[in-house]
Amino acid sequence: MPKTSELSPIEKMLLTKLMIDCSGETARALSEMMNKKVSTAADSPKVLLINDVPKLLNSEDPAITLLFTRMSGAIKGTIILSSTADNILKTADIFLHKPLGYFKNLSDENVSVIKELANIMAGYYITALNHILHATCDSSMPELSINPRRAIEDFGFGSVYTEEILVLALKAKFEIEGGIKEDILLLFRKNDIKKILERLIVNTNIVSNMQFG
């Protein structure tokens, strides 16, 4: 892995705080919308090859469902909602006012609701990112996948299995009342990592020698 994949302690601190702030706002809004308690915790930021990303997507269970939304504008990236199929279906139960466990499989009845949840959560993150970074970003409509290794080909980062593509990964874990656990992963292009860090440093009045080249 190139030397430029390393983040300094200050850069890690700034990026972790960014994810904590964005996730906290999202959890509060989600809690009000669902009328459920929602907690969240942010992992340490990572810079890694994009074909290693599937390991970060709810790695406790290889059989996962994920929904991804592409970011466009001042900063480009992808917002991913991932969890087990069971947890994803339980969120559809809540939105459609069904008892938990009502839906057993993805169907025409629940897929549109699941996509709307991903769209809403992506919207919360976009709003928070735009505010914190003083940026103007937008997002596409979510796409659903049950195959992470195929999905990363559609994230818009290039030829993931023929090029060495580095991305910044910011991950947060969510737990919704009722034992529903889901992950949000923000992926940013290597070319935008320095831009994000510079905006964070300017907005927090921190002087740092940028380590990520």
The per-residue pLDDT for range 9-33, each reduced to its tens digit, is 989 999 999 999 999 999 999 999 9
Query: Among 74, 58, 96, 78, which Cα is nearest to 175's?
Result: 58
Rg of the Cα atoms in the chain: 17
Q: Out of 3.40.1550.10, 1.10.10.60, 3.40.50.2300, 2.60.120.260, which CATH number does the structure's domain 3-84+117-204 have?
A: 3.40.1550.10
CA–CA gap between residue 166 and residue 161 (Å, rounded) = 12
Q: What is the pLDDT of residue 82?
A: 94
| Identity at 139, one-letter amino acid code | S
Q: Mind listing the pLDDT tens digit for each residue in 91-113? A: 999 999 999 999 999 999 999 99
How big is the CA angle at 57 (ends 53 and 140), to the nearest 5 degrees?
A: 80
Instruction: Find the length of the chain.
Output: 213
Closest residue by Cα to residue 129 from 19, 43, 40: 19
Q: What is the pTM of this model?
A: 0.90
For the stretch 150-165, pLDDT in tens is 889 899 888 888 888 9
Q: Is the per-residue pLDDT at 52 higher than 50? A: yes
Averaged pLDDT score across all residues of the chain: 88
At 213 the pLDDT is 52
Can you give the pLDDT at residue 204? 66
